Amino acid sequence: MNRSSIPLDRLRLDPLTIWDKTWFLLTAGNFESGQFNTMTVSWGSLGTLWNKPMAQVFVRPTRHTYEFMESADNFTLSAFSEKHRDALRLLGTRSGRDGDKVAETGLRPSPCSQVSSPGFEEAELVLECRKIYWQDLDPQHFLDPSIEGEYPKKDYHRVYLGEILAAFGVEKYLRR
């Protein structure tokens, strides 16, 4: 994919649809050693915190990716065009614990510029993030009772904040 470096103050995206409709692959681990895992995510946000550009992701402790989010000090978020929807669906329903799901999709992990975790050759946008904070959701703080309904197994998400160190994207993600 023909991605180029995008200065973060010129990153152009819709902050709601990029999560809810486009989805991301959240990937953590090490490209060189092959020790990494990826999964589809659609809950999260991009913004500013502590004067840093920030990505916030929510990972249930039951995910295989959780173990890599814990051991790695970085992660990536990769967004794709519609033609890879089936791959993202598979990576969001199958666990890396049960086999090489990435190989099954045909997506090709690719090295990043500043972090050990890979992006993907086919991605239209890759955000490289340095993990700087985590916290477990506390159900006692749910002010809307419907939220508890998302957790029949009480597997409350762990929230990770990553400082976005670099963005690489195709033309549509660059504000001229």
Ligand X SMILES: Cc1cc2nc3c(=O)[nH]c(=O)nc-3n(C[C@H](O)[C@H](O)[C@H](O)COP(=O)(O)O)c2cc1C
What does the block give as tokens for 116?
């050990």
Which C-beta is closer to ligand X: that of 23 or that of 31?
Answer: 23
Residue 59 or 161 with smaller CB distance to ligand X: 59
Binding residues for ligand X, rule: CB under 6 A, are 23, 37, 39-43, 58-60, 63-65, 89, 92-97
Cβ 39 to ligand X shortest distance, Å:
4
Residue 11 phi/psi, 5-degree rounding, is -75, 125
Indicate the residue whose CB is closest to ligand X. Answer: 92
The kind and range of the H/E element at 168 are strand 158-169
Shortest distance in whole angstroms from residue 46 CB to ligand X: 14
- To ligand X, the closest distance from the beta carbon of 64 in angstroms equals 3
Cβ-based nearer residue to ligand X, 6 or 26: 26
Residues 71 and 151: their CA atoms lie apart, in Å, by 25
Least Å distance between CB 98 and ligand X? 8
Number of Cα atoms under 13 Å in the Cβ half of residue 59: 26
Rounded CA gap, 164 and 127, in Å? 6
